[in-house]
Structure 1
């Protein structure tokens, strides 16, 4: 099965690396994004996000002519949709971005094309995407209408990569590929086998959608256990980091590390899709989400109480991103904590985030972006919110005169 031209719609943290991975296999790739800045940056051979090794890869494939970005969709043989899937009020899935992308590519579809939804989605989203495209193109048949004989093949293949390791994991990780029909699944598998060295495992679209949600809900439940344990240990005056190290010496125990909450575009969002689909049944998954969503408020309270010791307190907040050594602020508990501190006006707020060049709009004029050395020197209270590599090198002696709120256990890892 030949794919001469591949289009990737959505050039963010997943779409751009995926586009570059296809282009690195000498496939012509058209990346589509509604953000003109992102399009212009990519067409210069640069990147607008932080991900190790991605800058060199994009520069190479753009220079060689295999990757080009555009603000409007163009004809291709395969389309991958990798756009955000947030939730609305009440944690209801928001498919507006998927709908917009579906309707945007529909006019350029032709018989034989493949459309794959990569966005992490609630169960049934792939079928809904196919219906939106069918509404726009009554001259073409889709799987829900013609089954295996459809003009357009449709499937779902969720990403399952770790930020900071995306380039390697895109290639090496197994992929779960769900087709709306077996023929659709085979076509999608042929597409991904262009660059994936891991196994490409076929299933139906609904199972593939649920698989990704299940993976992230599993992580969320286990993180919630660690976060709840940290609250209990705080009440009982026990060092949770030492406790977990000791408990994990049991051959069948592997407790994760607690933190200030859970962030990112997957774990903090996806379990709600399961809860929305089965609200009376997903009791454990819902509770885990509540535990993790409450943790930032607890950390905020600890920081606020610490500032009462000082007449004109200064808080150094170390980290804004949702995990270490990336610039991704999506659903970040650290950002939520810092934003609330800044809005309350209880102290001067210094922010240390080595992976960004300017504060996000929510903090503009309310907090100060600062270097690590200066922030620690000026601070009365130091809140370690993200375990960025530079923070791991802090000399504990420099913190002896400070009140330290260590949500990542950096000072407890011996």
Structure 2
């Protein structure tokens, strides 16, 4: 099996770097996305997301003719699906509609010997669902659920395991968990990833690969929840939580993480719910950790309201309308532009909604505020520090660490000021 042409469905924070890395190895890559702006930007050799060095790799790949973006899928030797898997409803039920749409869009194009890999982080059983959707269109092809090792089409699940800000390096260096629906499916997937992979391909079943990614992020979520709960306890008991964690971590077998305003991103804040939805009675600890982390933004919002009240008490000549609040950081982690599932965004949106005075937003990695923050003003860090009465540090971007505001009330959810 040779892979002369690869199609990547979904050109977001995972799909585009993956497409670019394949293209950098002189493999023809067809990127597919529903976002016309993303398509046009990529075809100009530019990027629509912030990720270190990605712009250079994409520029070279497009100019050399190895990467092209389009709206409609085309025939290829291998298809990688990297589309979102959000929730639907209020019960955190996984929404597989994007995977379903992607599968049905490529199904009529499949040919004998093709490989389809689901990279989207998914609940257990999603790869099998995708295989069923793929089998709906081409009646002359066989699939692993029908013919096992003798199937015409190979299908596997291989979740991404990268850190935003380090994606290009980690795509190449990190081990990959490869879960084929059959051993031959796994073998084909490993052959594809070895085009660029320096790490190991660790083979397992599709279900184990799905659960592995969910487990990794749930482990982190539970540990962050412990730190976040500690921070609220220490606030009640008038203890510096960052000093406490530093002292506790002197123990050779203790490694407590750092608290924050919540947990965000498209993985850690989402994946644990996929486990809970699959086994609600057995995942009580995971569900509780999610509730702790999901509740932290409300705790921060309450701290802001108390800070405004304190400011007015010490400045009785002012009204609430004359109090300016600045929020520092909107991304879900430092030094990126990704606002998905960001607790900082939730807090900033709530502050804008509740506060009658000016609300300033400082986010050095974006050029304009999202629609939900249209009543706030995007300003520079210097402007905010000069004009605000209440300073709410939500994300520990590198630039914020240089100097704390010299006046006003500070609410530091990251422990850097």
Q: Indicate the TM-score class for this superposition, using the shorter chain for normalisation.
A: over 0.9
Query: 1:293 Cα shift?
Result: 0.1
Local SS of the residue matching 2:334: coil
Match in the other structure for 2:97: 96
Structure 1 window deviating more from structure 2 (241-250 vs 213-222): it is 241-250
Match in the other structure for 2:383: 374
Are positions 1:29 and 2:29 aligned together? yes
Equivalence map 1:83-122=2 (5 Å)? 83-89=83-89, 90-122=91-123
Equivalent of 1:354 in 352, 364, 381: 364
Query: 1:304 Cα shift?
Result: 1.2
Match in the other structure for 1:190: 191
Distance, in Å, in 2 between the alignment partners of 1:6 and 1:274 is: 31
Are positions 1:410 and 2:411 aligned together? no
Local SS of the residue matching 2:225: helix
Local SS of the residue matching 1:265: coil
- Matched pairs, number: 407
Match in the other structure for 1:209: 210
Local SS of the residue matching 1:261: coil
Match in the other structure for 1:144: 145
Distance, in Å, in 2 between the alignment partners of 1:109 and 1:259 is: 46
Query: 1:346 Cα shift?
Result: 3.2
Query: 1:137 Cα shift?
Result: 1.9
Match in the other structure for 1:328: 338
Unaligned 5+ runs, structure 1: none
Distance, in Å, in 1 between the alignment partners of 2:3 and 2:383 is: 53
Query: 1:108 Cα shift?
Result: 0.9
Q: CA RMSD in A?
A: 0.7
Unaligned 5+ runs, structure 2: 313-318
Match in the other structure for 1:46: 46
Structure 1 window deviating more from structure 2 (342-351 vs 220-229): it is 342-351
Local SS of the residue matching 1:30: strand
Equivalence map 1:258-277=2 (5 Å)? 258-277=259-278
Local SS of the residue matching 1:40: helix
Query: 1:138 Cα shift?
Result: 2.0
- TM-score computed with the length of structure 2 as normaliser: 0.97
Match in the other structure for 1:177: 178
Structure 1 window deviating more from structure 2 (299-308 vs 162-171): it is 299-308
Query: 1:228 Cα shift?
Result: 0.2
- TM-score computed with the length of structure 1 as normaliser: 0.97
Distance, in Å, in 1 between the alignment partners of 2:279 and 2:139 is: 33
Query: 1:344 Cα shift?
Result: 1.7
Contact 1:307/1:347 (8 A) holds in 2: no
Equivalent of 2:324 in 309, 314, 332: 314
